[in-house]
Structure formats: C-alpha cells, structure tokens
Amino acid sequence: MIEERAVVVEVGDGHAWVEIQRRSACGSCAASEGCGTAALGKLWSDRRIRVRAIAEEPLRVGDEVCVGLADGVLLRGALLAYSLPLFLLLAGALLGQVAFAGAGEEPVVLSGVLGLGLGFLVVRVLSKRFQDDSRFQSRVLRRSAGVLTTGVLSQP
C-alpha cells in the first residue's frame, strides 16, 4: 500500500478532504545543482494536492492522518491514462494509412488525431465509472502521531 501523510481540511459523511504536501525524490543526489529535473522539483515542491479519502473513523479539521492507496491502483490508472490514448493514436494512424493509401499524409495524421481524441474520451468515461468505486479511492488509514524526534539513547 502506498502511504502518505496528509492534513484534514474538510470532513464529510464517510469521507474527508485532505491536503498532501507534494514532495520530490529529486534533489538528494550530488548532481542536483545542475539537474533540470531537480530544478523543476524545487519549483513545484510548494504545491499541495487536495484529495478525497474514505474515512471510517470520525476526524476533525486539522488532524494529521496517514492516507493510503492500494498497490496496483496507481499503476493501473497510469496505464489507462497514458497507454490507451497512445494505442488508439497509433491504431487510428495505421487504419488511416490502410484506408487512404494514396491520399498522402494528411488523412493519416487526421485519423491518428481522431484515435487520440477517442482515447481521451474513453479514459474520461472510464474514470467517471471508477470514480465512486471504493477499490480505486484513497482511504484514511490512521491518525498520525506527528513527527517523532529521536535523541541519543546513551551517553558515554
């Protein structure tokens, strides 16, 4: 399960809206000073994401919680959002090439763009369908105890 800390900003019946601080894994390596990816990570690091999560226990605004998402959900969502439109783009272009063999490139490009648009439409319809399915939603797992500070256990 993918877990992340969040702060409750709104409470509803059976759910809570939480804000998650966007973090980047970039910036900790030695090349981060000259890396464009690390620079973009710093640029977007101040952003907060607002997410609706299923909450089975009563929460209050300001509570720090741990939010989780099932392991395969993120991968399936990314595959759906990226690969389906790309596949339909290529399928549309190939179909256009076969159907309009002697007409030039314009019909092939147009049919590819139509396939891409169809892919985006299918992704939108499927995402609306999965929107209320609890298997694909994040959940509040527990209240966080806050940041633990560690000290020296023994001194010489």
* Number of Cβ atoms within 10 Å of the Cβ of 16: 25
**What is the H or E stretch that residue 88 is in?**
helix 71-99
Mean pLDDT within 122-135: 84
Instruction: Report DSSP state, residue 7.
Output: E
**Burial, 78: exposed, middle or buried (Cβ in 10 Å; 0-12, 13-18, 19+)?**
exposed
Q: With a cut of 90, say whether residue 121 has pLDDT above it.
A: yes
Domain ranges of the chain: 2-143
Task: Among 38-47, 72-81, 89-98, name the most confident range.
Answer: 89-98
For residues 102 and 119, which has the higher predicted lDDT (pLDDT)? 119
Taking the C-alpha atoms of residue 25 and residue 37, their distance in angstroms, rounded to an integer, is: 10
pLDDT at 109: 92
Task: Note the pLDDT tens digit of each residue in 64-76.
Answer: 888 888 888 888 8
pLDDT at 38: 65
pTM for the whole structure: 0.61
**What is the H or E stretch that residue 50 is in?**
strand 48-54
At 92, the pLDDT band (50, 70, 90 cuts) reads: very high
Q: With a cut of 60, say whether residue 79 has pLDDT above it.
A: yes
- Coil/strand/helix, residue 69: strand
For residues 82 and 103, which has the higher predicted lDDT (pLDDT)? 82
Taking the C-alpha atoms of residue 3 and residue 7, their distance in angstroms, rounded to an integer, is: 13
Taking the C-alpha atoms of residue 32 and residue 129, their distance in angstroms, rounded to an integer, is: 41
For residues 134 and 66, which has the higher predicted lDDT (pLDDT)? 66
pLDDT at 28: 58
At 118, the pLDDT band (50, 70, 90 cuts) reads: very high
Mean pLDDT within 19-45: 65
pLDDT at 43: 63
Mean pLDDT within 87-106: 89
